[in-house]
Amino acid sequence: MLTRIKNRFRGVPVVPRAGVAVTAALALALTVTGCTRYDTTSPSSARAHAEEASLPAGAVDCRKAKCIALTFDAGPSEHSARLLDILKEKHVHATFFLLGKRHIERYPKLVERMAAEGHEVASHTWDHRILTEIQPDEIRAELNRPSAAIARLTGHKPTLMRPPQGRTNKTVNDICHDLGISEVLWSVTAKDYLTKDSSLIRRRVLDQAGRDGIILLHDIYDGTVPAVPSIIDALKKRGYVFVTVPQLLAPAKPVPGTVYKP
């Protein structure tokens, strides 16, 4: 079953690996070049509009610190428990964009653990449908179902969502606004859906990392979790502080309907 899930997540199940890479790259290009035009807000811009606001005592101030956010899509999976162990050992909090069908449903205890250990639990839709290709009522269902499942398990309704393949548009933005959800894209991707080589995943992340970056990884793939300890260690040596996406935006709070991208 997991193999079928992995293949489906990469895009169209029958597309070969090279075709998937082209499809994913084209999908992201379309979202940022105008075919599905929308505005994005960077973490630094969000913070700049909240300069007078204060942070809770002891919170990381990303206006001063060199912050970066580690995010994981499409879990939980059989690898997530080990990932949570690593994050706990390294004293790092991450943001998890979870899939509902066959993931939240299959690993509810891991969802509870993510929240209990201080990670941000967010949505990656229910069944990874491309939101720009379906009707408004279907978009709402894709967003409402995982939100309800996460709220039942954690006691908190998620306020963040990552659209599958990063594809969004004004219709999706407006529905997210109505549902009280912000959208989060990324600035760093290791394309870990195309390789099991943990050293390559590590190198790709380190090559792209920058201040206020949002790193996209997937804990459903075999090579990803083994790369995480060395990614964390290397970025800490460079002076980065790991934060969740809401912490990256603070003292601003995520605004529903807004698309955040570094």
Show the domains of the chain with their CATH numbers.
2-260 (3.20.20.370)
Distance CA 61, CA 236 (A): 16
DSSP one-letter string for 71-130: EEES---TTHHHHHHHHHHHT---EEEE-IIIIITT-HHHHHHHHHTTPEEEE--SS---
Amino acid at the residue 128 = H
What global pTM score does this model have?
Answer: 0.86
Residues in CB range of 125: below 8 A, 6 or more apart? 99, 100, 131, 142, 143, 146, 161, 163, 164
Q: Is 39 annotated in the active site?
A: no
CA distance 155 to 153: 6
Are 210 and 179 in contact, with CB atoms under 8 Å apart? no
- Write down the pLDDT at residue 33: 36
Task: Give 200's DSSP letter.
Answer: H
Say what the pLDDT of residue 173 is.
Answer: 97
Does residue 192 have an active-site annotation? Answer: no
Query: With contact defined as beta carbons under 8 Å apart, do 100 and 129 qualify?
Result: no
In what helix (H) or strand (E) does residue 260 lie, and over which residues does it extend? Answer: strand 259-260
Catalytic residue among 79, 128, 218, 219: 218
DSSP 3-state of 191? coil
Q: What is the mean pLDDT of each run of 10 residues along the chain (262 residues)?
A: 41 34 39 58 93 80 96 96 98 97 95 98 97 98 97 97 97 98 98 97 98 97 98 98 97 96 96
Q: Which of 73, 192, 212, 219 is catalytic?
A: 73
Pick the closest to residue 234 from 213, 216, 262, 207 (CA basis).
207
d(CA 56, CA 214): 22
DSSP strand pairing (213-218 vs 188-189): parallel
